[in-house]
A and B are shown apart, each in its own frame.
Chain A
Amino acid sequence: MKSKYLVGIFLFGFWMVGTALITAGLLSRNQVTSVATCALPLVNNPTSAPLVLSATEVAKHNTASDCWSIVNGKVYNLTSLVATHSGGSQQILNDCGRDGSVGFNTKYQGTPHSGGAQSMMKSYYLGDLGATLKPTQASSEVGNAPTVVTPATPISKVTPPSTSGVATTLTASEVAKHNKANDCWMIVNGSVYNLTSLVYNHSGGSQQIINDCGRDGSVGFNTKYQGTPHSGSAKSILQSYYLGSLGATVNATQITTQINNTPVRRSEDDD
């Protein structure tokens, strides 16, 4: 190919894509699109009293579905970032409910976040540490959170599947009904697991789990889609999500017990 045609194609592509991104950025700047739903403590605040952004208050918001963090003296609601953080959700979860300045400033490896990432933080800003917020302020911050491209509902307490109090047979078609991030069942090597509470704690990223919600995820579990199996400890941990063998009949109580007993993992131990 003549060099000028190659350059022409790349120049055309550069201006098309670049213009599209800049235009999309301008248009989306003040838009609120899909917003990650999460627990809104202030909305639920029965007294509607002003809220002081103290360290004690921040410490109450320490889960994947309700994640606040202090960074450089300011308080941020990072709930909607948990799922999409490019460094992995665990990096955020580790600092939910506490001061994450070191993590943000150094990524725990001596390097700061980029200018773009620092700009993005502003959209999660609640207020300065120690400031007092009116009840409507925190909810409006959530409303202005950046677009979540893969809308997902991070939750720590899962919504139990509808069982109507009767026994459920763990067939493939039953598993297929539970195919969302907030209700995620999966078949792995002939057993059925409820992985809902693992979705946003999975160290390989939430998408790896979401991709196989409602279906057979044996290949993903056995190979991580790159030829390497999960570790022995990961296999042990999987058992805590066990519902029953494929084809087995379990009653509603068994399912609810499994859900309530499944821990929300916070440590890097399931790889």
Chain B
Amino acid sequence: MNRNLVRFLTWLGMLAIFAGIPLLLWSLMLPFGGRWSQESNVWRSLGQISGLLGMSFFAGSLILGVRTKWLDKLFGGLNFVYRDHHWLGTIGFCLLLVHPLALAYRFALQSLSVAGNFLTPNPNDWSIFLGIVSLMLLMVLLVMTYFWRPTYHIWFLSHKFMALAYAIGWWHLLTIDSDVSRSWSLRWYYYILGLASIAVIIYRVVGHRKLVPRATYSVDTINELNPGLWEIYLKAVAKPITCKEGQFAFFTFINKNLRRDAHPFSVAGSNAQGDLRVVIKALGDQTSNLAQLTTGDQVLVEGPYGSFGQRSNRKQLWIAGGIGITPFLSLACSRTNEESVVIIHAVADASQNVFAKEFPRVSQTSIEFIPWISATQGRLTAEAINKDVPDWRERTILMCGPIPMMHSLRSQFVAMGGDKHKIISEDFNL
């Protein structure tokens, strides 16, 4: 099915489940006109709707964080799942900020002191107090996510605590005197969402070591291709994963000098026995410590995910920025189609151009490799590409690299008359 149609249908489905159902149930509870008949009722209704949708959107965000292969297939890629997870959480949070203000303003129409009291935490009114605690906790955690940008480990830990904020908010939702407490259908809707969220939390957060299926590998060889650029060969110990070209997996390295965090890396190659090759660049605190890895260290592999480049058999143009070349390594190995492929690899300087000879060697078909050295040639642009690959408009364009580079090139290609539906990028900003 067409990629864009898949995206549209998944968004429609999410809107129906997380917005359509609660709005419909809420609307049918009481005469609709009465809810909007006076100014105070308008504000009360806005407060109720924002609370209901805020909680359902947040539940949706939690559920999408489950990371499974069927979600990967349904959304057309795990990157889309995480993008929707991010936006559902963002919109849900914004709605939750509106919720108490709209309700307080309704009281303000009659009494400012009551409105002020409503917003002030009061442990004696514990169901409202829970709501305030939940919102404050969520605020702190999301400020860390959006504005502070801590190290991956701290960011991941803060993300786990959002489950706690959500659980407290859910308790507030179900215990406070509201339309939810008065409507069995709304109540059951939130029970189901809550149970699904709890299942995800148990699966992903609490019991992930036992519940999430992972294959066990051991480190066979480690090569430093360049300072900070590692090529690691992993040998399957038991039940290897079956990797297709262009896919990625989550790797957890078991070494006392490394944290046991799962990080996504493209699989640069695999064989019939399920052994894997990964190429990793030291970009963060975890990857910078890969020098501590030794032969024989255990690695847990979860996946594979993704379908980058798998469905296209036409003439192609591959554009890789820095370490973004790794999915193309596996694509080159498995390609049997005779259609022409040109790959442009943009690197900061010539010392990072280590894969030039690999493409013609490993591919069964002809792949033209064009290096682009930014230090001497400047930033890679669509205009420069047009000079080296004048028939780029006839090709499917696959891109993997820094997000700004991909976004910029996409805009430039479209501005030059390229078909945006033929430009596919692998977004690793999970």
Residues of A within 8 A of B (CB): 3-4, 6-8, 10-11, 13-14, 17-18, 21-29, 81, 84, 86, 88, 110-112, 114-116, 119-120, 123, 146-147, 149, 204-205, 207, 226
Residue of B nearest to A10 (CB): B94
CA of A111 to CA of B119, assembled, Å: 22
Chain B 43-70 residues near chain A, CB threshold 8 A: 44
Which one of B41, B110, B117, B177 contacts A149 once the chains associate, using CB atoms below 8 Å?
Answer: B110
| Chain A CB within 8 A of B381 CB | no
Are the CB atoms of B113 and A7 closer together than 8 Å? no
Q: Which 5 A-B pairs have the closest CB atoms?
A: A25-B116, A86-B40, A146-B111, A4-B146, A28-B112
The reply to whether the CB of B108 lies closer than 8 angstroms to some CB of chain A is yes
Dominant SS at the B interface?
helix
Q: How far is it, in angstroms, between the C-alpha of A21 and the C-alpha of B93 when the chains are bound?
A: 21
Chain A residues whose CB sits within 8 angstroms of the CB of B143 once the complex forms: 11
Question: Scoring B residues 93 to 112 as 1 if CB is less than 8 Å from chain A, else 0, what string do you get?
Answer: 11001101100111111111
A-B residue pairs in contact (CB < 8 Å), sample of 26: A3-B146, A6-B90, A7-B94, A7-B146, A11-B139, A11-B143, A14-B101, A18-B104, A18-B119, A24-B116, A25-B119, A25-B120, A26-B116, A81-B110, A84-B40, A84-B109, A84-B110, A86-B38, A86-B109, A88-B38, A119-B117, A120-B110, A146-B110, A149-B110, A204-B37, A207-B39
Q: What's the nearest-Cβ distance from chain B to residue A231, in Å?
A: 14
For residue A105, give the distance in angstroms from its CB to the closest CB of chain B: 12
Complex contacts, B114 vs chain A, CB 8 Å: 25, 116, 119-120, 146
Extra inter-chain contacts (14) besides given A7-B90, A8-B147, A25-B117, CB under 8 Å: A7-B142, A7-B146, A18-B101, A21-B108, A21-B112, A25-B114, A86-B38, A88-B38, A111-B177, A119-B114, A146-B111, A205-B37, A205-B38, A207-B39
Interface hub of B40, B105, B117 (most chain A Cβ within 10 A): B117
A8→B97 CA distance, assembly (Å): 11
Contact for A207 among B38, B125, B177, CB less than 8 A: B38
Which B residues are CB-close (under 8 A) to A207?
38-39
Residues of B within 8 A of A119 (CB): 114, 117
Q: B166 interface residue, CB < 8 Å from A?
A: no
Q: Is the CB of A147 within 8 A of B101?
A: no
Query: A-contacting residues of B (Cβ < 8 Å)?
Result: 33, 37-41, 44, 86-87, 90, 93-94, 97-98, 100-101, 104-120, 125, 128, 139, 142-143, 146-147, 177, 182
> Are A29 and B113 also in contact (CB < 8 A) when A7-B146, A86-B106, A120-B107 are?
yes
Closest to A113 in B: B177
Q: Which residue of B is nearest A81, CB measured? A: B110
Let me know if B125 and A24 touch, CB within 8 A: no
Residues in chain A near residue B142, CB distance under 8 A = 7
Chain A residues lying within 8 Å of B87, measured Cβ to Cβ, are: 3
Smallest Cβ distance from B159 to chain A, in angstroms? 15
Report the bound CA distance from A228 to B38 in whole Å. 17
Q: In the bound complex, do residue A116 and residue B118 qualify as a contact, i.e. CB atoms below 8 Å apart?
A: yes
Chain B neighbourhood of A23, CB < 8 A:
116
Kindly provide the distance from the CB of B102 to the nearest chain A CB, expressed in whole angstroms.
10
Given the known inter-chain contacts A7-B142, A86-B44, please indicate yes or no for A21 contacting B105, CB distance below 8 A. yes
Question: Could you tell me if A22 and B38 are in contact, using CB atoms closer than 8 angstroms?
Answer: no
Q: Which of B33, B111, B116, B139 has the most CB of A within 10 A?
A: B111
